[in-house]
Amino acid sequence: MKALVYHGPGERVWEEKPYPVIQQATDAIVRVTHTTICGTDLHILKGDVPTCEAGRTLGHEGVGVVESVGEGVGTIKVGDRVLISCISSCGRCDYCKRGIYAHCRDGGWILGHRIDGTQAEYVRIPHADNSLYQVPERLPSEAAVMLSDILPTGHEIGALNGEVGLGDTVAIVGAGPIGLAALLTARFYSPARIIAIDPDENRLAMARTLGATDTLSGDAVSSVMAMTDGEGVDVAMEAVGIPETFDTCQQIVRPGGHIANIGVHGTSVSLRLEDLWIKNVTVRTGLVNTNTIPVLMRFVEAGGVDAASLITHRLELADIEHAYDLFADAAQQRAIKMILTAA
Ligand SMILES: [Zn+2]
Ligand SMILES: [Zn+2]
């Protein structure tokens, strides 16, 4: 079978690889029908994720059809159309029992990282009963792919960690795929205003389409303060992962407000603790648990959120090398999410 294999920083090839096989009784083998590329895959290619070794098949998002299951798999059946969670979890360890699937003792973010991932014709999914979700019949596969990672991440690490509430003013710093997913899911909690901040006008146009009430491309701090009568925002979400955007969040959050850091940072940020403490600000961050996939799936299925609106490019899985080139040039290509479909 074919797979997109990481061969060290800057090196990736769509190449022949052995078919995955059941290794544990709780495994399933899934024939991938739809997958996508994440910003995290680009981080791996830059060499930012040393725990991902050369020879690894990339990808942690996708939908497919179950080909075979181990004898310990109970609810997932051969032939099921399934959503693959970016987080694999046993459902039985102490962390799983607290709903912190990200820190499962025998899982977490391992797909396309520590074990072979979903950018392939077939993938082995450990702990299949807890890591796969049957896709309802009327939910299209390409919309379902948005539930593997970006919608739960935007929801859990953005909207929930930020405690978005009725009538709030929310600022989302960074209108890439994750920032836009945070925007879509923040709307569940009925904020009065959502201010999207990004230097890219195309992304801001997309943010307005998805429900942002205001967009800013210039000096965000003074603009936000002016827009909020000098008070700042109730919730500031960081969806980029660099010190400058985190600092913007620290400067625009109002007393009693929340900073939700979603971005993956490669370097330290400076914490303005001297200002934040007296403003009763909370700062939260985290790796997605994906424990809200079931509720998000109900919203997407019912049409309460248009997940497919995040898809800007559709290519064949065999063209994934070209898709990586396009995604690496996302601003020029106006790329948000690309769907790769198996022939
Ligand atoms: Zn991802
Ligand atoms: Zn576990």
Gap from CA of 251 to ligand 1 centroid (Å): 28
For the CA of 108, the nearest ligand: 2
Non-local CB neighbours of 87 within 8 Å, separated by 6+ positions: 101, 102, 104, 107, 108, 109, 131, 287, 288, 289, 290
- The span from the CA of 342 to the CA of 85, in Å, is 19
- Residue 166: the pLDDT is 98
Q: How many CB atoms lie within 10 A of CB 343?
A: 7
Architecture of domain 2-149+289-341: Alpha-Beta Complex (3.90)
- What single DSSP character describes residue 120? B
Parse the chain into domains and list their residue ranges.
Answer: 2-149+289-341, 152-285
Gap from CA of 46 to ligand 1 centroid (Å): 15
- Dihedral pair phi/psi, residue 56, rounded to 5°: -80, 135
Q: Name the CATH topology of 152-285.
A: Rossmann fold (3.40.50)
- The span from the CA of 287 to the CA of 61, in Å, is 15
Non-local CB neighbours of 195 within 8 Å, separated by 6+ positions: 169, 170, 171, 172, 212, 213, 214, 215, 216, 224, 227, 233
Q: What is the mean pLDDT of the chain?
A: 97
- Residue 218: the pLDDT is 86
For the CA of 127, the nearest ligand: 2
267-307 pLDDT, tens digit per residue, is 999 999 999 999 999 999 999 999 999 999 999 999 999 99
- Residue 64: the pLDDT is 98
Gap from CA of 88 to ligand 2 centroid (Å): 8
- Residue 307: the pLDDT is 94
Mean pLDDT within 206-225 = 96
Share of the chain above pLDDT 70, in %: 100
- The span from the CA of 207 to the CA of 198, in Å, is 10
Residue 268: Cβ-neighbour burial (10 angstroms; 0-12, 13-18, 19+): exposed
Gap from CA of 336 to ligand 2 centroid (Å): 32
25-55 pLDDT, tens digit per residue, is 999 999 999 999 999 999 999 998 999 999 9
Gap from CA of 86 to ligand 1 centroid (Å): 7
107-132 pLDDT, tens digit per residue, is 999 999 999 999 999 999 999 999 99
76-108 pLDDT, tens digit per residue, is 999 999 999 999 999 999 999 999 999 999 999
Q: How many CB atoms lie within 10 A of CB 76?
A: 20
- Residue 276: the pLDDT is 97
- Residue 297: the pLDDT is 97
Mean pLDDT within 161-185 = 98
